[in-house]
Structure 1
Amino acid sequence: MVQINVYFVLFVCLYHVSFSHADFLSIKDKMYMNIKADYPCFLRLNGTNKVGCTSSRFGNVGTLHFVSNITDLKGLLNFGTAVPYIVALTPKMFTDQVLQSIELNTTKINGVVLLMNGTNREIIDADNLQTMGFTPEDTCPNRYSSSTSCPMSPWNPHGSSILLKGWSFPIFIIYDKETIKEMFNCFKKYNLPTNNQNDRSLCTVELKSHMYAAVDSKTCIRRTVMSYENIRPIKFCDPLGDKNVYWSLKELAASTPNKSVAIVAARLDATSMFQDLAPGALSTATSIVTLLATAKFISEILPYDEAKNYSNNIMFMLFNGEAYDYIGSSRVVYDMAKLNFPNDNVKLQLDNIGLFVELSQIHYDKEIVFHRPKKYNASENIQNFISIFQNNLAKDGFNIIESASSSIPPASIHSFLKADAQFPGLVLAGFEEQFKNLFYHSVMDDANSIEFTSADISNTLAKISTSLGSSLYSFVTNSTYNGNNNVDPEYIKKLLDCYVKSTNCTLFQSLTSLPLPDRPPNYYISIDLITNTITTLTRLLLSSFGSSKIESVLNEEDCNTYETKPGFSALWLKGNFYNGCYSTTSNYTDAISPAFIIPGYDLSSPRFSTWTESVWQEVQIRMFLRQSFQMQIIIFILGNFLFLLSFIITRKIYAQSDIYFTNQEVNSVTS
């Protein structure tokens, strides 16, 4: 009888415990509204500083308040009573002045959400950003790692530099219109008017994006190394890094003559303040597209069987990590000095380069500007290239300008000029004294910034690519190209579709059967343990130019181990057009700063890039209703009363336990 009663009691207890747990979860779900938190501002560090954002370990909580102008912000800072606040800003309010005001008053405001309510074009028009610009970069990007000083008239005049400052509060960006609407309705219903806010329940937001790293790269890496001595080591940060990608017209030989290689270069990366949001349309993508179209064009007008008869060669190079003190290009120069570029067999050096042409922010306007260090840069190859290129584009109505400035804009060529002031290179840019891109290194630098839907951009890039290809043809053959081939604007459109609109595009689908994300590429370099998706896809695309299929190899495993002749590599392509193992001159080189491979390197030295990215575990945004101060006091008192009451009852039962439990035992024995 006693045993049955015990089982019955246990069953009832377990039933109620499980019921209470399920009920608890439902209450929690009703209390909090989870908001998609895919795009936090995160922490990056270099040898002397940290930039970006972080929350406290358990998140920052504040009363939601929409700020539409400076007057709202000042009123909140001076008269707000329900501190701390989380403020919601529109892009026109997302300025250095506003963020600095918040930084100086983090006891009153401890978090920011940037609301993107509409398409970028709608936001630009509504906030008048076409006039004021929206670029968080420095006015002179990479100012401390360039070979020339910044000009009096800065390259990026609209730069606010908020990308390069450390903020002690979290910042998130929100795109979803329904979420923004719910946040505003919650604010309007519970938080207005702003007087006597502590007397009622308030709409509240929690932002969680705690970053593990602190101080600078040197400190963060030292802490990581020290933690390896523990049973459970903790990583605090990772070096930034990825891969450079290259393709050559013919194989690079071990015995390359001096001044026989022309390098056509562009950067493969961009950046912004927010995770996974570096669209880089005009900052990066138009130059990549022009380079790729030129590479394809030269492979068609000068196929391998003809190119191998000439001593000169062309190498197309895409550098990664250039937004962070030229990580990729500085590594190439370092490897050249160590006789390790692009590999141990070829050993290409600076003396082998006879011409270096870099593409930078190619614009849809019919204007091209030459930037070069005139004091030293007067080689025959440079002069011939400028003459041919200029004559070709002039026929198409382009305005060709040679910059009179002694400064070179932010570009990979700086890494080479620091090693050799007489390096034979120049930059072909879509701007002269200042960037035309008003959204440089921002989330706004998307398809709208290059007028993606206009035919002007594809026609302009096609003509530039054709002229560039014809000029390179002359470098290799020492003769003029008289053919009728041109770069097709339709091919440019396909490239732009891949590099600006969505990676799930026709060209990439022809090369791989892997699932491709249906969104614009993210051009942020990320950490050295990860190869960016756009890096991999670009290498596949380059491998399709002038490559030959290896018919004897029928599967990917055999392709990966196939030994090609020197200067080539075997690559498996399997898409809806290419299918098989191909021999190609394309390959990767490391885009990791020499600072992280040189033993004992002083990370506070400015010689090489020392950028790292903080590790973090969880990002989260939650909105909920916080009770009034009076209600919190009542709940606190009631909770303490119930605790004391339960303690007294428990104590009373324990004191008289011999009466209750002894009688029960006696009754059981009697029965």
Structure 2
Amino acid sequence: MASKLLYQLLCLIALFHLCISAPLALNQLQSVPDLEKSMYTVIDGFPCVRLLNIDGEIGCGNPGRDKVVAPVVRFKNADQLLQKSTVLLSLDEVESFFLRLSNDSNLLRNIGGVLVGSGSNIESKLKGFSPAEKFPQAEFSPYQSTKHQWNPNGLDILRNAYNFPVFLLSENSTVTLLESATKNEARKNAYTKDFAEFNLVMQTTKSGTHDSESCLKEGTCLPLGGYSVLSAFPALNSSTKKQPKPIILAVASMDSSSLFRDKNFGADSSISGLIALLAAIDALSHVNGSQDFGKQLVFVFFTGESWGYLGSRRFLLELDQQSDDFEGLNSTLIDTVLEIGSVGKAFNNGVQSFFTHSTGVSAATNRTLDAFQLAEESLNDIKILKASATNPGIPPSSLMTFLRKNPQTSGIILEDFDSSFTNKYYHSHLDDHSNVDSSAIVAAASLVARTLYILASGETTPSLSTIKGISVNSSLVEELESCLLKCDPGLSCGLIKQYISTTGACPSHYVGVMAEEPSSSPDLVYVSDISRFLWNFLAEKTSMPSENVASECTSNCTKKGALCIKSEIKGKGVCVVSSTRYVPAYSTRLKYEAEVGWKVLPLNSSDPLMLNDPIWTESFWATIGLRVYTVQDATYDRLVLLAGLAVTLLTYVATVATKGFIIKALKRD
């Protein structure tokens, strides 16, 4: 009897020890956030978000109003999914996954979310990865042959709608999720699994507004758009009584697109051309005698070109309407359009080879081709070739907009390809700084600067020695690459910090949204870092030193035609005389009304600038997040509950029995 009492006493001591040791183990958790950190792993990633147009939706998002929670599995083990699952893909599996998704209803039904991994080891093995179409934005083509494959690596998944969340993982997060998937495979029949939780709830999904017209009406989205930047060299003088000069219009795009909204460098897709044109403008700014040019140089950097050519279509519409942005300009004065496209991969057996794609045969086009030829002769190891006559027409470009507006437009696009893109990562998150070569961009900038100078000189062809004196600053090109195509230093680089205060370091060339009423003098809070940098840079480079006012300013200058640049840095800047302007870029079928907001205009099928306008918008969202945590199987939870109830019942019975035993023992004593 005494041994039984001793045994029960030892049990009570052990229980007491457990009760006091558990709180000691939890002493490291000082707060609720500490507890959350111990339970949840927050994952770094870039989301695919919900976009809308006049016909419906594209992009990604949670299927309903709630978060999505699903166990992590690798795609190679996704043959027989029996429940909603988070599928982990490597980049080389993306094509086969989306192809299978379109043909396998069972797989589609059991997709909870998709995670796309990153890793240089996989990326180096890829033959190509482009989520865009094989003929990007073919609906805006000025010609009928839209079966041509300008983008042979195109997967055509960028414009599809996916009713599940999709994230691109960072390299560190890829390792974390791979570990989770491997654990789940190892403990297939275990009671715990690692789950991914997606918070990618789109406001348009919650409100049931599934196209641009309805979401704009209900206020659950905003139009895609931003601000293009225009500048003239030399500055325009609208008060002069002289006959206006013919215009040489040099253009480039400042935006790109990607399946993942904020992982969007567009290095060769568009930004190589932007950098080349900026470097060419810098070179021309050092040339004497620009006031004596026979023709007027006008530069435009369009935004929104990846989304229905928003920038160029709005530009031509505003130009026709002669809004305040276009004082001193007229569409009838445009002699030729020179577009700088993808120029970052121009290599052929050690020679920088570029191709000219022209709109057709005209006197203006021939003059431009002759100017390119003369510029080529002034440079070493650079070759200019005409694009193949078998091409159906010009490649996807802003020049398409000009041709749809006026089929007689004379224009040339400078590219690093002939019949198909050399860029195997077109409109992909992989189109970063490693996908371009700075020497190719320097070569393109040199060609463009000298060609523009020859064209602007008018009837008198400058001497070869004069042309050779126009030199591009290769250091500027390299710095622009570091600023616009890398996260380090990115927008924190010294060059950009000379002009503006940035909102972040890592550049993204996604077009963004129009968050306020469009204006030629917008509130700078609503203007992107890239647009503001271009405005300041161009205003300085195209200003006339002899006319500049050596005075400080905070926002405006008193002299007519003067602009206040670099005022963001220390709250004060300097005044320069320049014709640099912001030009709103948004759908030609939208109008902003103060009391109503955004209104969709009726389609005018006779207006080529309205035709095929998709009216792109982006859904609102509250927060976007992704995290991973371990979840116990519900069956196990129920077993634990039953076991707990059984232990409680047995404890109660044992307590009653022990109590009775002790009472009897005491009575005997």
User: Do the structures match in fold with TM over 0.5?
Assistant: yes
- What corresponds to 1:360 in structure 2? 341
- What corresponds to 2:58 in structure 1? 51
Distance 1:580 1:641 in 2: 82
- What corresponds to 2:661 in structure 1? none
Shift of 1:189: 2.9
- What corresponds to 1:237 in structure 2? 221
1:564 is the counterpart of 2:559: yes
1:595 is the counterpart of 2:589: yes
> TM-score when scaled to structure 2?
0.79
Distance 2:400 2:186 in 1: 54
Call closer, same or farther: CA 1:639–1:413 in 2, change over 3 Å.
Answer: farther
- What corresponds to 2:74 in structure 1? 66
Letter in structure 2 aligned against 1:108: N
Letter in structure 1 aligned against 2:257: T
1:487 is the counterpart of 2:472: yes
Q: Size of the alignment, in residue pairs?
A: 579
Letter in structure 1 aligned against 2:156: S
Call closer, same or farther: CA 1:448–1:457 in 2, change over 3 Å.
Answer: same
1:510 to 498, 515, 533: 498
Q: Are the counterparts in 1 of residues 280 and 446 from structure 2 also a CA contact under 8 Å?
A: no
Q: Are the counterparts in 1 of residues 101 and 108 from structure 2 also a CA contact under 8 Å?
A: no
Distance 1:491 1:53 in 2: 38
SS in 2 for 1:248: strand
Q: Are the counterparts in 2 of residues 48 and 217 from structure 1 also a CA contact under 8 Å?
A: no
- The CA deviation string for residues 414-464 of structure 1, in whole angstroms up to 9 with x for no partner, is 111111110121211111100000001110000111145xxx335423432
Shift of 1:504: 1.9
- What corresponds to 1:168 in structure 2? 163
- What corresponds to 2:21 in structure 1? none
Letter in structure 2 aligned against 1:518: A
Q: How does 1:134-153 map to 2 (within 5 A)?
A: 134-153=129-148
Shift of 1:606: 4.0
SS in 2 for 1:144: helix
Q: Are the counterparts in 1 of residues 220 and 619 from structure 2 also a CA contact under 8 Å?
A: yes
Distance 1:628 1:637 in 2: 14
1:610 is the counterpart of 2:615: yes
Shift of 1:603: 6.8
- What corresponds to 2:122 in structure 1? 123
Call closer, same or farther: CA 1:218–1:62 in 2, change over 3 Å.
Answer: closer
Q: Are the counterparts in 1 of residues 56 and 211 from structure 2 also a CA contact under 8 Å?
A: no
- What corresponds to 1:470 in structure 2? 453
1:373 is the counterpart of 2:364: no
SS in 2 for 1:286: helix
What do you get for the CA RMSD once the two structures are aligned? 3.2
Distance 1:385 1:341 in 2: 30
1:249 is the counterpart of 2:233: yes
- The CA deviation string for residues 291-329 of structure 1, in whole angstroms up to 9 with x for no partner, is 111112222114xxx333445210011011000110000
Shift of 1:638: 8.4
- What corresponds to 1:209 in structure 2? 200
Q: Percent identity?
A: 20
Shift of 1:212: 1.7
- What corresponds to 1:30 in structure 2? 38
- The CA deviation string for residues 161-220 of structure 1, in whole angstroms up to 9 with x for no partner, is 11110011100111142x3333323332343254xx3x5211111112011225998844
Q: Are the counterparts in 2 of residues 103 and 167 from structure 1 also a CA contact under 8 Å?
A: no
2:638 to 633, 640, 652: 633
- What corresponds to 1:317 in structure 2? 300
Q: Are the counterparts in 2 of residues 272 and 441 from structure 1 also a CA contact under 8 Å?
A: yes
1:297 is the counterpart of 2:283: yes
Distance 1:603 1:61 in 2: 43
- What corresponds to 1:280 in structure 2? 266
1:536 is the counterpart of 2:532: yes
Distance 1:211 1:200 in 2: 33
Call closer, same or farther: CA 1:465–1:354 in 2, change over 3 Å.
Answer: closer
Q: Are the counterparts in 1 of residues 255 and 510 from structure 2 also a CA contact under 8 Å?
A: yes
SS in 1 for 2:38: helix
Q: Are the counterparts in 2 of residues 48 and 216 from structure 1 also a CA contact under 8 Å?
A: no
Distance 1:422 1:532 in 2: 34
- The CA deviation string for residues 561-620 of structure 1, in whole angstroms up to 9 with x for no partner, is 324324x533344669x9523332211111122211286513797443411111111111
Distance 1:311 1:218 in 2: 53
Call closer, same or farther: CA 1:218–1:620 in 2, change over 3 Å.
Answer: closer
Letter in structure 1 aligned against 2:530: I
Distance 1:451 1:286 in 2: 9
Q: Are the counterparts in 2 of residues 326 and 609 from structure 1 also a CA contact under 8 Å?
A: no
Letter in structure 2 aligned against 1:324: W
Letter in structure 1 aligned against 2:430: M
Distance 2:279 2:191 in 1: 63
- What corresponds to 1:525 in structure 2? 511
2:552 to 544, 551, 554: 554
Distance 2:407 2:634 in 1: 67
Structure 2: which 5+ residue stretches go unaligned? 1-26, 516-525, 593-598, 605-609, 648-669
Q: Are the counterparts in 1 of residues 308 and 614 from structure 2 also a CA contact under 8 Å?
A: yes
1:391 to 374, 377, 400: 374
Call closer, same or farther: CA 1:61–1:259 in 2, change over 3 Å.
Answer: same
Q: Are the counterparts in 2 of residues 461 and 492 from structure 1 also a CA contact under 8 Å?
A: no
Structure 1: which 5+ residue stretches go unaligned? 1-18, 228-234, 643-671
Call closer, same or farther: CA 1:476–1:489 in 2, change over 3 Å.
Answer: farther
1:583 is the counterpart of 2:583: no
Distance 2:646 2:180 in 1: 33
Letter in structure 2 aligned against 1:420: N
